[in-house]
A and B are shown apart, each in its own frame.
Chain A
Amino acid sequence: MKATCWVAPKKMEVREVPDPKILNKRDAIVKISSTAICGSDLHLYNGFLPMMEPGDIMGHEFMGEVVEVGSGVDNLKVGDRIVVPFPIACGDCGACKAGAFSLCENSNPNAYIAEKLLGHSPSGIFGYSHLTGGFAGGQAEYARVPYADIGHIKVPEGMTDEQVLFLSDILPTGYMGAEMCGIKPGDTVAVWGCGPVGQFAIASAYLLGAERVIAIDRFKYRLDMAREKAGAITINYEEVDSVQDVLMDLTAGRGPDHCIDAVGAEGHSHGVLYMHDRMKQALRMQTDRPIALREAILSCRNGGTVSVVGVYAGLIDKFPMNAVMNRSLTIKTGQCHVHRYMKPLLERIQRGDIDPTFIITHTMPLDQAPEGYRMFNNKEDHCEKVVLKA
């Protein structure tokens, strides 16, 4: 089959590789119809996440048709059309039973390595380095899905791939980002980053009852989308002296009640701070650039919530713990527990509460994945989200 392989930082190749096989009883094999490139893939593309091997198959947002089912899966049959959640989760361990699927205790065969880096191991993830298990990903013609009995949602008749594909990751992720805020009527929510995750966080904050949502980015086309499609008030951080000051003005000195970081490790900025972070990175004093996170913490109102869905891969410097502690802030975070959001969000799509297709700007064949990566990474041609057709 054809698969998108990581070769080196900034170098992806579509290669011919062996077809996947059933390795465990609860596996299923899916013939992929649609798959997408995620902001998380960009951290691998740019070499920020450790433990990639040349030849690793990328991709964790995918859907398709079941073509083979393991003997331990009793709720799927050949021909079923399913969307697969990106965390791999057993459904039986303490974490899964508590609904924390991205913390599954049984699904990372390389847990011992993750433990050394993170203290404890999170779940396995498709196509997301050997730190999270070394599972082949879904930017390919076929994929093996472990624990397929709980790791899927069936697509109702009549719905298009585009309507349901993002249930695999970014729609639940944006939703969880907003849900973790515990939004109350009248609340103002600020969202850093207007990538796909940011867009869905904005929309979800409204679904969950926010009064106003303010979105921050520097790409005009992304800010336009946030304003016109998701309904946000937008700030272009390159056109203002201080985002924090603008937020203070907009909230009459209170600060946003909740701040969502939908940027992560590769935050960008202008001026001295950015130089500082690039320097620190180069001098190996930190691996990540926590620019949006710092700003979110400092902007948040006293006693507010900072919800972090942007991914951090390593260590950061100049973390304003004094602000967190002295101002009673709550930090909530996590890889999305996708399994628990798939059904309710599918229902919301069916009811017409949200139409997730608005973020798609590019659809291309799997063969062109390397080009898709380049465009999405460099934000060329007003790229917001790339869907690949296998």
Chain B
Amino acid sequence: MGASIETSTNTMNGDGGSAAIGTAIGEQARPRVSTTARYQRIANADRGTGGESLANFLGVFSLGLGLAQMIAPEGMSKLVGIKDAEGNRGLMRALGAREFSNGIAILSRQQPEKAMWSRVAGDAIDLALLGKVMANPENSRSRALFATANVLAVTALDVMAARTLSMQPRTVANEGADKGIIRTKRSITVGKSPEECYAFWRNFENLPQFMRHLESVTVTGERRSHWKAKAPAGQTVEWDAETLEDRPNELISWRSTEDADVYNAGTVRFQKAPGDRGTEVRVELEYKPPLGKLGSKVAMLWREEPGQQVMDDLRHFKQVMETGEILFSDATKQRGMHPAQPDDKPVEL
């Protein structure tokens, strides 16, 4: 992993850490855990990415708005002062559906800034339509004016959020972005011991069990492994990786070898969770999609935004560790939207 990612976050022995525990707490009353310093370091490094919370708010707002337009198009047209003709109702419903899917897209952060900008574009359409409605003498102007003011206010917020999202501040998560390196980190709590989690992960050939985009990982040497990932249209992307650091029950870090087409590197840390909560598993990952045709294949691998992909992998790791396998529903068995109903496709278990 690039030297920039700190691998020395000292985990086990918290000596020196006790000074960090609130000094206002009497000696005898202090918690018996040795340190809070480790968590403070995580907190310090974590700045999130600015603009997200406003985007979240608008996502929620969008959902509400879309829902109302879809469910009660008559009421909505009346409120915004559009004559309640069949055509208008269809229009309101369509606007509602757009609003709603925007909300989901923003919230699920599938490329939030794109969804935000599509919202801005959507607002512009709303404004244009309302303008048209106002010009029609049959529709009530004052109501339409009210709605326009409402949409304008939302538009202003949208523009603000979209701009903040596209001008993200520098954080650990996006530093190096201008060099084309994408970096992400995610974590999860797994109800098994650090020893069990480490042992399962350390056998790299297990990785495809919970990293759904991997086809196989083959161990080729003491520190070497060969990774094969699924790319769209039945293609594959392959690379060799070497293990950089391996601290039993604590940490594994790896990176692609010099000659790999796809630069990528990762670290996973296992650390006992407080109480009997199991293990805190933290992954940091960075990769640089190469340019050109291969690049677009790799980008497709990560199409869901890298953080989301890592989170999915971690969730699946938890499922495999706790329950033995990844759970499917009728709708999520296949990629893409599918109704919650069985299909005729064969099942591979």
Contacts and interface: CB of A to CB of B under 8 A. Distances in A.
Interface of A: 3, 5, 9, 17-26, 46-48, 50-51, 53-57, 72, 90, 92-94, 97, 105-107, 109-113, 116-117, 124, 127, 130, 133-137, 144, 146-147, 278-279, 281-287, 314-315
A135 B319 contact: no
A146 B324 CA distance: 13
B191 interface: yes
Given A47-B70, A53-B331, A94-B278, A137 B340 contact: yes
A26 B327 CA distance: 9
A286 B65 CA distance: 9
A97 B349 CA distance: 27
B341 A106 contact: no
A314 B70 CA distance: 15
A55 B65 CA distance: 24
A302 to B, nearest CB: 33
A248 B285 CA distance: 61
Contacts of A111: 315
Contacts of B122: none
Interface in B177-194: 189, 191
Contact of B71 (A21, A47, A97): A47
A18 B327 CA distance: 20
A117 B107 contact: yes
Interface string B231-242: 000000000000
A14 to B, nearest CB: 13
Interface string B151-190: 0000000000000000000000000000000000000010
A287 B332 contact: no
A22 B347 CA distance: 8
27 contacts: A3-B341, A20-B330, A23-B347, A23-B349, A25-B324, A25-B349, A47-B67, A47-B70, A50-B67, A72-B324, A93-B318, A93-B323, A105-B322, A109-B332, A110-B329, A110-B332, A116-B108, A117-B63, A127-B340, A130-B340, A282-B68, A282-B75, A284-B61, A284-B64, A287-B67, A314-B64, A315-B60
**A-B residue pairs, 6 tightest by C-beta:** A134-B331, A55-B339, A116-B107, A284-B65, A109-B332, A56-B340
A117 B152 CA distance: 25
Interface in B80-127: 100, 104, 107-109
Given A53-B340, A92-B191, A116 B109 contact: yes
A135 B277 CA distance: 29
B5 to A, nearest CB: 24
A101 to B, nearest CB: 14
B91 to A, nearest CB: 16
Given A92-B191, A94-B278, A113 B108 contact: yes
A283 B60 contact: no
A22 to B, nearest CB: 7
A285 B65 CA distance: 8
A116 B71 contact: no
A386 B49 CA distance: 50
Contacts of A5: 339, 341
Contacts of A51: 104
B77 to A, nearest CB: 10
A56 B341 contact: yes
Given A94-B189, A94-B191, A112 B308 contact: yes
A98 B87 CA distance: 53
B153 to A, nearest CB: 12
Interface in B298-349: 308, 311-312, 315, 318-319, 322-333, 337-344, 347, 349
B342 A21 contact: yes
Contacts of A26: 323
A23 B63 contact: no
A259 B69 CA distance: 33
B341 A24 contact: no
Contacts of B322: 90, 92-93, 105-106
A162 B290 CA distance: 63
A239 to B, nearest CB: 28
Given A113-B108, A117-B107, A284-B64, A54 B339 contact: yes
B56 interface: yes
Nearest to A92: B322
Given A57-B340, A90-B322, A136 B63 contact: no
A300 B222 CA distance: 67
Contacts of A92: 191, 322-323
Nearest to A116: B107
A94 B308 CA distance: 23
A109 B347 CA distance: 17
Contacts of A90: 319, 322-323, 327
B51 interface: no
